[in-house]
Amino acid sequence: MRMWMCSPKIMCKNHLLGEHNECHMFLGSLKKRINIDGYIKNDLLEPLSLKNRHDALADEMIKRGYNHNSNLIFDENIIFSYLPAKYINHRINKENSLNILINKCLLCNQNFKKENTMYSITKSFKFEAAHRLLTMEEGHHCRNIHGHSYVVRTTIQIVNITLMKNPNMVVDFGKLKKFKEITEALDHKLILNSNDPLIVILKDVPNVDIIKMPDGLDPTAENMAYLFAHNLKDLCTSEFGIEKATIKVDVDETVGNTASYTLFF
């Protein structure tokens, strides 16, 4: 069970009707005073939005010609009386939720694209770096230190170009030099998992510059794409004046081997 908390318009029939039913199931759990630690921990439930979310889903169901005869009878004073304030006020990370839905459901993905016709720009960056993958099984060749000629393609997509400071462009390509500073910081470095014992072994070796991945992540192309996408999002909001966009980052380790991450905010 989960509340997706994205626009009902983009949801396929199965996810629309499914979340509607799950709103009723969540209400049943709250009425029975069931422990909801797991729902909150896993970012599946936003208690204060349950009634409004149900109604938004029901409105979309009716617009599509589906039957709806199950109103949500909701008394906050009774239902929330046993919950700590931090649970009552929990807010779902809508960015992550939308990413999960779009990536798991082709129909929702297609609907999202139809609802969000976009302008986009793409700029590529290159750097040379070495890494090894600590989480690969013993004996795997990627556990050895090896290098790649990385190519990072960054794409920024927006819905309404007229809202930009210059309504003729998404963002000046020149401003993306800010992102180049991020890739240049990795050039000719050794990128390692922060738990890699090589960090201690090599830390005093001259001319070995080590970059540690955060949070115990392995330096895979997938994880790099994830981190680059969030770096680009930060630049969009702090430097480029973009408050809402879709970001896609592709990371080529070698020609033909590409990992991607798409982020909506």
Residues forming the active site:
142, 188, 253
Closest CA to 17 of 64, 49, 50: 64
Per the document, the length of the chain is: 265
Q: How many helices and strands, by DSSP H and E, does the chain display?
A: 10, 6
Encoded amino acid at 108, one letter? C
Exposure string over 128-148, b if 16+ CB within 10 A, otherwise e: ebbbbbbeeeeeeeeeeeeeb
Edge-to-edge strand order for the sheet containing 210-213?
210-213, 189-193, 119-131, 146-158, 246-254, 257-264
Residue 256, number of CB atoms within 10 A of its CB:
6
